[in-house]
Structures are given as structure tokens and as C-alpha cells.
Structure 1
Amino acid sequence: MAIFGGTPKGPQGKELKKKMPQVLVATPGRLQDFMSSGEVNLSQAQLLVLDEADRMLDMGFEPEIAKILSQAPPARQTLLFTATWPKAVKRIAEKYLTLRDVHVNVGETEELAANKAVSQEFFRLGDDEKDDKLWQILSGLSDDAKAICFANTKRRIDSFQKTFWSKGFDSVALHGDKPQKDRDRDLEKFTKGECWLMFATDDP
């Protein structure tokens, strides 16, 4: 079962009360909500997985992570997945993993390296040039292309989506202010190929 924010807590709580699932996938904030209300108890958890630990820390979830880990039983297996290995993640690992932990590194060991299978191109542009360049790139793609365009603010994502929609580009926008049902609908449209262009923040 999955529990996450951005959608009403009530229906998820009802599902939990029917039968506690063997596997629970959760975002840190919503999991802590259910732990605080007593609807989730980790005292019998045998396996605890932290995925994207570095991103959760970047988003300010360290207090939630610490509380969740502190309430899980000591006799458990803990798996921690992270794309980067910053000091904050090392601190979490040193504090909550056992002395017999195994560190598996995939790819470069000394420093981060970009995926060599991905072609990258850098454009040095001023703020007033970026939108025109994006238009040139997207309008020049082939008819069977699919594209995801990331931007750093929700307002900018909405602006892009409206602008490109007005120019005849069927597009969807994903960000945290949109209701979960709308995000699910738009993501499904993109994955099914009903819409080829998606604008999104990096944490929709």
C-alpha cells in the first residue's frame, strides 16, 4: 500500500485500518502523520528502506527521517539508496546503520559523473533569452518526440504550459500545488503518449 501527501488523509487511514499491509510505501511527512495518530506502528518492522535519501534531506525531511528511524526496532535490516553521498547522508548512515553495514557504490567512486549514455548540451544564456531558446528546441523536435522540461518554480511551469498550449503544443504541467488526482491524470496522459510534452518541477 502507498501513503503520501497531496491527497486526503482519510481514505488512506481507512485502508490502513482494514488491514495493515505487509509492505508500506510512504513519503516521510505522511508516514509521520500516521505514526503520530497511532495508525502506523513500526515496532514489528523487519525491513526499512530509504530511497532517494539525499533528495529527502534536500527537501528538509531530516527530522521526519530521524523520528521514523528512531521508532523502528533495532533488530531490522536497513537499506539506504542515494544518488549522492553528501555529509548529511553519511551522518544518517553512521547513526542508523549497523557496524556491519555494506556500502555498494555503482559507477564513479571518487566523484560524481554524468551518465555517459545521455547526451548533454549547455547554452550560456541570459534570463531574457531562455524562453526563446526553449521554443526553438521544442519546435524543432520530430513529430514522434517526447519531452520533459524541468523548471525551478511552480509559477514558471504553469506559465510555460499556458504559453506553449496557446501556440498549439499539447502539454501538461506537474508540480506540488496541483491536486494529486490531476497529477496522476496528466502523468498518465504523458506515459500513454496522449500528450508528448510535460513541464514539471523536479519534485512533483
Structure 2
Amino acid sequence: MKSFQELGVSKSILKALDEIGFEQPTPIQEKAIPAVKSGQDVLGIAQTGTGKTAAYLMPIFGKLVKAEGVDPRAIVLVPTRELSMQVGEDIEELLTYSNLRYASVFGGVGWTKHAELIEPGIDVLVATPGRLWDLYRAGAVSFKKVKTLVIDEADRMLDMGFMPQIRKFLEVLPVKRQNLLFSATFPEKVEELSHEFLDFPLRVEVAPSATPAEKVSQYYVAVQNYRTKLNLVSHLLKDEETFKRVLVFCKTKEVAEGVFKVIKRKSEGEVKVLHSNKGQSSRINAINAFKNGEVRILISTDVSARGIDVSQISHVINFDMPQDYEDYVHRIGRTARANEKGTSISFIAEDELFHKDRIQELMRADIEEMPMPSEVEIIPISKKEKLAQLREIDKQKRENDPDFKGAFHEKKKREPRKHPTSFNPKSMKLRKGRKDGNNKKR
């Protein structure tokens, strides 16, 4: 493996890397740094937590050399505010001994504050698509000096519906520029974007798409219903020595809030919840507290967790299985970062076994079953929840086999009753009474 110095990383960055404690490049960095330095478009595929952000930042900084002008020369597009802040923090660490200027902008804050932030001049701008478009339309930022455009977390960018905005940027950015597209997975949508966005790209890939981090031990527990899942997560998190820093994933913000209330009541240590209904300051404070070790347990939905780059997460718990299977890879990639070991535990009800099997096919790896701890109280499943599970299983089977007819298949529509085309008063038998109230028959 080559050293950072052999890869041609600039002296100021080398000094910062030495201070951070990065001694050797990761595989994606070893491949991507020369590719980006070549000036060609680059398609980078690497698992979450492998250092792909630094893989494109270091060669970009090497090209920019020093602060120059007012307008940004490199733009990094990211899908969420959390990721925008995270990339900004990475840049701050790497530029400790450089005079290059940067800014990180995102929604949830008045755009005028960000306009004031970039007005003195910047070299690198990290932005979410919506906020960058706000600044451009207001004339607060110019793209005329842009030489490099990075689309980071491309798979999530497309899942969140940013393709129309990306196309708008491609129309107004300078034609002569280097394009870099980085993604943890490479589904069909990302492949289509790469054809539209990149010209004869160099492809750098350190693992097949949707391959989980090697040092993550993956397990699942068969859990029949929601209330038993609550009992199980409460039981596991009582063990503070084993579950040192835990990220719990839930499929919706409502479920996340429910889990938060139970864990906060039954577990030791500080607990925070992260989802789209939380205000920006609340979300930032929760992530920072989790990073700093002030919070042991963070409960989050998939979208809110993007951009959480926290070392030493011991466990990822999937309270629900994601139906977007590549989200599973992103989830478990929150642990086992920077060559550390980690564990993922998924709670799987009967109607989630289908998703587990599909995830195993995607990863080309098995998730090992672990037994339900004997101390956990198993709550009998309600008729309503059981019926909902059976309906979901029927739906899954129909997806696999269009000819499958389960217990909940659609019934044939009944023929409408035929009514006479004309009204015959003689066919009606009417009982009439006298006006004086005498109801005797005539």
C-alpha cells in the first residue's frame, strides 16, 4: 500500500493528517486520489465508513493550492444538512495548515445568513441542492469559476428526489469542469445518473455494490410483534459495558418517538432521538452529543442518520427492517468504521423475513440468527397486528408470483342488481288509512 506522500498529497494536508492520526490511506483513497488528480471524471463506489469523503477532498485541495478570488472553484453536493455539516467538519480538519476557504450551507437556516457567510469569498462550497439553488437564484453565489463538481452520496440524493435540481445545476455550471460522483451503492438509478453526468469516467471501486463492511458481525432475532421488540431493545441496552455507543434505526418518526420514550424510561445514560420533525438545532445538538460521548444511545430514522460519522459505535440495532434494501448497508456501515469492529442486530417479525432474504441476496452474505434472551417478556400478538402481518405476507407473495392467490386476494366484483326500466304502480301494495285516524281496511 502506498503512503499519502507517495500519492502526492500536499504538504499542508500531510501535516494535518499526521495531527489527526491518519497514517495510511484506505483502499478507496489509494485508488481515488490518483484518479481525481488525473483530471478525468471519476465514479467512486465504496462502502460507508471507508474514507471516501477524504478520497476526493485531498486531491481537490491539491489542485486549488491556495485561496484565490471570491467565487467557489469546487462544489460538493450532498443530500442532507447533517452530511453537509459532516463534510464541513472533515474539510476543517484537513485544512488546518492551509489558507483555502470553505463554507457548508444547508436548509433550515435563512439563506441570507449563508449569503453573508460566503460573501467574503470561498474556494470550496459544500451544499444541499435546495439551499445552493436558493443562493444562486438570489445572486449570492456565482458558478463561473467552478472547475470541480462532486455529487456525494449519489444513491441517497436520487432516493430523495433531487434529480430535477441536479439537472438544473448542470445547465448553469461551466461546461469545462471535472465531475466526481461518489456513492456507497450502485443501483440502476445511480448508473443512469453516471451516464448523464460523467464523460468517460475512471471507475474506482473497493468492494462490489452493497457489500457490507467486513468487520461488522450481523445478527437477527425473530420477534413476533412491536411490544416484544420494545422489551428486547430495553433488555439489550441495560448492558452498558457491551452496548457502549448504540445507534437504533426505526422506519418512521412515529416508531422512533415510541422507542425513545420506552428506552429513556428503562435505560441508563442519556438518550436522544433524531427525525425530520425535530428542529435543526435539536438535530445538530443530538449528533454532537452523540459524537462527544455525552449520549450513549441515539434513535434515528434513515434519512436523519445520513451524515453521522461517529467513531466507536459499538452496535447498530435495526428495530425495523428497511424496505429499501440498500439502506440496510448504510445503516450497518455506521459501525465498524476506520478498521474498528462492530455489531448489528436486527429485530425481524414474520412479515419482515421477506426483506431479510432479499437483503442477504443483495449483500451476498448471511445474517446469523441469535436466540431471544430468556429474560425478555414475549407479549402475545394481537389479532389486529397478526392480520396486518398476514396481509403484508400475502402482498409479498403476490410480488414474487403474480398468479398467487392468497387469503387476501381481491374478490370478484359483484354484478349490480338490475332494476325495472319503468315503474308500475299496480305492482305496489299500499295500505291506506282514513284521514280521521281510522286504520280499518276498506
Task: Report if TM-score (shorter chain) is over 0.5.
Answer: yes
Alignment-derived partner of residue 37 in structure 1? 138
Shift of 1:143: 6.8
The equivalent of 2:286 in structure 1 is 186
1:86 pairs with one of 187, 191, 209: 187
**Match 1:155 to one of 254, 263, 269:** 254
Q: Quick one: distance in 2 between partners of 1:162 and 1:90?
A: 41
| Structure 2 counterpart of 1:77 | 178
What amino acid sits opposite 1:115 in the alignment?
A
- Work out the CA distance in 1 between the residues paired with 2:250 and 2:108: 20
Counterpart of 2:113 in structure 1 is 11
2:214 maps to what in 1? 116
How far has the Cα of 1:37 moved from its partner?
Answer: 2.1
Match of 2:275 among 162, 175, 198: 175
Letter in 1 for 2:192: R
The runs of 5 or more residues in structure 2 that have no matched partner are 1-102, 305-442
1:144 Cα deviation from its structure 2 partner: 7.0
Deviations 1:99-152 (A, max 9, x none): 3x10111113xx532222101101232333322222222223427711111112
C-alpha distance 42-127 of structure 1, shift in aligned 2 (>3 A): farther
Which stretch of structure 1 is more off in the superposition, 125-134 or 182-191? 125-134
Deviations 1:31-72 (A, max 9, x none): 122222222222220111110000110111111112122221
Decide whether the 8 Å contact of 2:234 with 2:267 is kept in 1.
no
Distance change >3 Å, CA 57–CA 144, structure 1 → 2: closer
Mapping for residues 43-82 of structure 1, pairs under 5 Å: 43-82=144-183
Matched residue of 2:171: which SS?
Answer: helix
> Structure 1 202/21 Cα, relative in aligned 2: closer, same or farther at 3 Å?
same
Calculate the TM-score normalised by the size of structure 1: 0.89
Supply the distance in 1 between the matched residues of 2:244 and 2:131 (Cα, whole angstroms).
36
- In structure 2, give the amino acid aligned to 1:3: V
Identity among equivalent positions (%) equals 32
Unaligned residue ranges in structure 1 (runs of 5+): none
Q: Is the 8 A contact 1:6 1:176 kept in 2?
A: no
Report which stretch shifted further, 43-52 or 68-77: 68-77
| Structure 1 residue 199 corresponds to structure 2 residue 320 | no
Q: What one-letter code is carried by the residue in structure 2 that aligns with 1:89?
A: V
* Residue of structure 2 in register with 1:103 after alignment: 203
Question: How many angstroms does 1:14 deviate by?
Answer: 1.9
Q: How many angstroms apart in 2 are the aligned matches of 1:154 and 1:24?
A: 31
* Partner AA of 2:230 in structure 1: D
Match of 1:140 in 2: 239
Contact (CA 8 Å) 2:260, 2:271: kept in 1 or not?
Answer: yes
Tell me which residue corresponds to 2:405: none
CA distance, structure 2, for counterparts of residue 66 and residue 126 of structure 1: 45
Cα distance between partner residues in 2 of 1:138 and 1:181: 27
Contact 2:152–2:181, Cα closer than 8 Å, also in 1: yes
| Whole-angstrom CA distance in 2 between matches of 1:123 and 1:137 | 12
Relative to 1, partners in 2 of residues 1:137 and 1:167: Cα closer, same or farther, differing over 3 Å? closer
* 1:168 CA displacement: 4.5
Deviation at 1:161, TM superposition (A): 1.8
CA–CA distance in structure 2, aligned partners of residues 162 and 69 of structure 1: 45
CA distance in 1, matches of 2:229, 2:248: 12
State the match for 1:27 in structure 2. Answer: 128
8 Å CA contact retained: 2:230, 2:262:
no
The residue identity in structure 1 corresponding to 2:294 is E
Q: 1:127 to 1:155 in 2, by over 3 A?
A: same
Shift of 1:3: 0.5
